[in-house]
Structure 1
Amino acid sequence: MHNQMTVGKYRVIDLSLFAVILIVFESVLVRAATQWFPKEAWTVSAVAAITGIVMVRWGLWAALHAALGGIVFVLTSRGTPAQFVIYGIGNLAGMAVWPLVKRWGWQSLKGNPLRIIVFGGLLLLAMQAGRGLLSLAFGASLNAAVGFITTDAISYLFTIVILWIMSRLDGMLEDQKHYLKRLNEQQA
């Protein structure tokens, strides 16, 4: 008897795997930065890269990973209650990039470094803007709000490189419903 997994079950497994990857990588990156480089005015984060991958694969389900990434960052860095809101909700501003991805189509990212740069850069910039605006609402100075952009410069490069690598791997930076349909057609 041929037993196939439903798309819904596959999505839950896929989203869960990317959530675990996000938790592990973000925890390690934040811990390394705070332990080894505590006085440096920069951070590196995997949140935008993983959120971008999930966005291409599953659309707005990526909001879960954006928020989760903010929560993991705050937990790992032992942040304040206000930071849970700033990072958890602020990262959701990255979802503003979804209409661009829909308009372009996921296929346009494959083999197109310029689109990867624009997509990854806008995604991270939107997340930083969301965090910056929320920090202003919590009483931070304008300099502190702008700091979200300047201290995350390495994350731009990290995000773009990860997205570029994933775009080169079959099925990784692809709408998963399309991917499953394509696999099914290849097996038929």
Structure 2
Amino acid sequence: MTAGYFIANNIQAGSQENHQMNQPAKSFSEMPPELSNAIPNSVKSKLKVPAYLPFKVEKVHGQVEVRVKDANQLKESAEKNESASNSIDTTQLAEDELAIEQFFYGNNIHMYLLVEPGGIDVEYANESDVQQLTLSDGSTAAYIDYGFSQMINWLDEETGYHYSMDVIHENEEQNNRLTEEDLVKMVESLEVPKY
């Protein structure tokens, strides 16, 4: 959904350890050190995660990625960070060079949350399928139901960050479909986690 961007997995300079966390779900409002250590403090102080999900979460996964327009930008970022390889220390990158992905896995239902501090241009295959959901603060979120997934895109007015939430259903049975009210409640539950 990021027009014109290639997103590359980030690996810490000098290490083969991928910046991600993969653990059983406990509290959504806490972020594990493995992930939070890869996020610049300027982003960490504004990054939000959901405090409410209307399904039982069995596993949580997240990672920091580097947004680049082309391979030369990745090389330049590595050189700027004084790295001999294409590994990049994400804590030294500007906000518009990052994307933070979080995955919440349940039974037959999963939620993917993409946070892009630098903003994005969202394009839809069919604009007429997009509905506007009104949030309690008066702002709006674009909502589209693809059947197998329910997607919401919005700009968080408080932080200026763009969020994209995609609820994916393993089967299209109506028993695990979320209502628009549940989706809005998920969006409105976002808060800055404890580190």
Give the TM-score normalised by structure 2. 0.28
Write 1 or 2 for the structure with the bigger share of strand: 2
Write 1 or 2 for the structure with the bigger share of helix: 1
